[in-house]
Amino acid sequence: MLNKLALSGIKHRLRDYSVLFSGLIIASAIFYMFMSLATNSSFLKSNSPAQATSFIYGFGAVLLAIITIVYINYANGFLLSMRQKEYGMFMMLGAKSSKISKMIFVETFTIGAIATVLGSVIGIVATSFVSQLIIKSLDMKVTHFNSFYLPALLITFAFFIVIFIFSALKNSISIRRTKVLTLLHKDSQPARIKKNKALKVFQVILGIVFLGIGYGTMIVMGSNPVLIYLGVPVALFTIVIGTYFMINAVIIAVISALKRNKKFSQKGLNNFTLSQLSFRISDYTKILSMVAMMFALALGAITVGLGFQNQISTVVDGQNYYDVTVNNINNSQQKRIDKLNTKQVVTYSYKASKGTVYYQASEFKKTPFKYQKFNMKSMIGKTSSTTDPSNADVSYELLNNNLPRYRTSKISVVDGAKFDSIDSKANSLTLVKTKSFNKDLATIKKINQSEQKRYPELKGSGASKYDAYVMVNGIFSGLEFMGLFLGIAFLAMLASCLMFKILSGASSDVKRYNMLYKIGTRTKVLRSNINKEIAVLFAVPAGLGIIHVLIGLQMFSKILYKPYMNIEIPFGIFIILYLGYYFVTRYLYKKIVLK
């Protein structure tokens, strides 16, 4: 009989349960997606040159596990809050608490198990979809990646089963310990705001100090990457604590100040909104700080990931000024070059004899040779030009453009008479600079291929700019892929965490909004009030997270050339996705709260 009652209870609250259920499914799907990367060691090895990768992934796995536990804790609290009134009623009608707690155990565990299985399946599908999308759209080379990876699936199952056993135990114990009357009147439990000015001021100071230490550490790490193993934990610890105090003290102080401004607070529902917020934020401090941190990590991961994409062209450009090199040009290669959007085309003639490659001074005088002056410190080449490429720096790059057989030769720039007198066949070297290497990539690839056919020695020599591009792209794509994947996974997780926390408080707001409606508040006003309130709850962690990222990018100032370049792209993508969660949350919230 009780089981029947429990089932009918679920049916009645199908909408709330569907929110809970989809949240749990998302959690397990994301966990699987991450694990399919993190546990796949052959993928990690083949796609990242950096020693730090497994460290980064291990760190990510721990973070994700923590956030998943927190998330399930919230979801579990939401489940219990929906059901406890009913449980209280069953107990009042004489059901034994042992029976009820058994029922709760079964219910929690069943929901968790079904969600985990469904989530893993969705995770497999989503992994293949997302990875294909990322790989294709960014022309990436990712090897050893498989959306179905058994060890990841097993870890996901094991992890979630353990968590749900604990949640189920926690639920059944908490019901056993709570009095029937408390269960029945749970909704009307008062919510109090504690005020202690001295403590708040102390928290503000602590918040600023901790954030200062954290930010400082990140900047120091940027100029000295060796400190990364010590610096990351220090920065993480201090910034987490700093964020917590900032939200707990500073934001509440701002709200109180707004409340004291009567002109503002006594307009429409402003006072109500501010009170809701100050109550909410003190209740939400933990989750908002966590969301702010996750926001920063996720956005940081995406930004750095895309930063590597920017890096590709920078590094490739550093290798060679000219985009295309053709030896002894023929008609078909000429036709291909004509298709390019060129900035400069230059042809030099040369003769090779006894370990020396001879060029004519008059040709360089007419069109100076352009090369990349490479700076080891910044890893960036700066374009320069010269009429005498025989010195060591420049001859290296010019020889790189010649066929590999001349690689060890010397360069000699001679006058016309001397050139003519050399007893060797005259060759030509055509160099092309395009307006955009990336836009002409397809044609450049063709020219490169046909050049390799004409001169098989070019194969595997890695001499051309295109070859360099392929190699660098391979290295950076792995890093970029991880950044994007991690970023999107964390975003989905943090935003659904926040969504859940907000929605689980919705039922207690029904009465408040109903009262406001009764005393004559227009539905439109109620709606806009809800929008504002939820917007602030989403904006606070986002704002702090963005500041964390902007400063955190300093960590990469040595690894990435211009870490702030094109920053609006990852920020834009991220904010659009995050806004999506905001709109879903406020829609669901209004569905629960308003008639």
Sole binder of another protein in the list 53, 128, 178, 270 (CB under 8 A):
270
User: Does 262 contact another protein by CB under 8 A?
Assistant: yes
DSSP code at position 359: E
User: Does 276 contact another protein by CB under 8 A?
Assistant: yes
Give CA–CA dist 119/75, Å, rounded: 15
Minimum separation from the CB atom of position 254 to another protein (A):
17
Please give the angle made by the CA atoms of 541, 546 and 547, to the nearest 5 degrees: 100
Binding mask 113-132 for another protein (x = CB under 8 A): --------------------
User: Does 515 contact another protein by CB under 8 A?
Assistant: yes
Say if residues 25 and 118 touch (Cβ distance below 8 Å): yes
Sole binder of another protein in the list 49, 268, 460, 580 (CB under 8 A):
268
* Strands 369-375 vs 427-434: parallel, antiparallel or unpaired: unpaired
Sole binder of another protein in the list 522, 566, 580, 583 (CB under 8 A):
522
Give CA–CA dist 528/550, Å, rounded: 31
Sole binder of another protein in the list 53, 81, 146, 271 (CB under 8 A):
271
Binding mask 475-514 for another protein (x = CB under 8 A): ------------------------------------xx--
DSSP code at position 405: G
* Binding region for another protein (CB under 8 A) out of 40-48, 270-278, 410-418, 484-492: 270-278
Minimum separation from the CB atom of position 495 to another protein (A):
26
User: Does 521 contact another protein by CB under 8 A?
Assistant: yes
Please give the angle made by the CA atoms of 296, 300 and 306, to the nearest 5 degrees: 155
Minimum separation from the CB atom of position 269 to another protein (A):
7
User: Does 520 contact another protein by CB under 8 A?
Assistant: yes
Minimum separation from the CB atom of position 262 to another protein (A):
5
Nearer to another protein by Cβ, of 4 and 192: the residue is 192
User: Does 518 contact another protein by CB under 8 A?
Assistant: yes
Nearer to another protein by Cβ, of 517 and 564: the residue is 517
Minimum separation from the CB atom of position 179 to another protein (A):
19
Sole binder of another protein in the list 157, 166, 272, 561 (CB under 8 A):
272
Give CA–CA dist 209/293, Å, rounded: 17
If phi over 0 gives left and psi between -120 and 50 gives alpha, with beta otherwise, what is residue 195? beta
How many residues in the chain?
Answer: 595
Sole binder of another protein in the list 175, 241, 251, 269 (CB under 8 A):
269
Burial of residue 505 (number of CB atoms within 10 Å: 0-12, 13-18, 19+): buried
Residue 38's contacts (CB-CB under 8 Å, 6 or more residues apart) are 44, 57, 58, 60, 61, 152
User: Does 166 contact another protein by CB under 8 A?
Assistant: no
Give CA–CA dist 594/511, Å, rounded: 10
* Binding region for another protein (CB under 8 A) out of 228-236, 241-249, 263-271, 557-565: 263-271
Give CA–CA dist 333/343, Å, rounded: 17
User: Does 523 contact another protein by CB under 8 A?
Assistant: yes
DSSP line for 171-201: HHHHHHHS-HHHHHTGGG--------HHHHH
Nearer to another protein by Cβ, of 13 and 590: the residue is 590
Amino acid 97 reads S
Site residues (CB under 8 A) for another protein, limited to 184-203:
190-193
**Beta partners for residue 352, in sequence order:** 357
DSSP code at position 407: T
User: Does 519 contact another protein by CB under 8 A?
Assistant: yes
* Strands 380-386 vs 369-375: parallel, antiparallel or unpaired: antiparallel
User: Does 226 contact another protein by CB under 8 A?
Assistant: no
Nearer to another protein by Cβ, of 11 and 267: the residue is 267
Nearer to another protein by Cβ, of 139 and 187: the residue is 187
Minimum separation from the CB atom of position 81 to another protein (A):
17
User: Does 524 contact another protein by CB under 8 A?
Assistant: yes
Task: Beginning with the edge strand found earlier in the chain, give each strand of the sheet holding 356-360 in spatial order.
Answer: 324-327, 427-434, 342-353, 356-360, 410-414
Say if residues 277 and 252 touch (Cβ distance below 8 Å): no
Minimum separation from the CB atom of position 192 to another protein (A):
6
Residues that bind another protein (CB under 8 A): 190-193, 262-263, 266-272, 275-276, 278-279, 511-512, 515-525
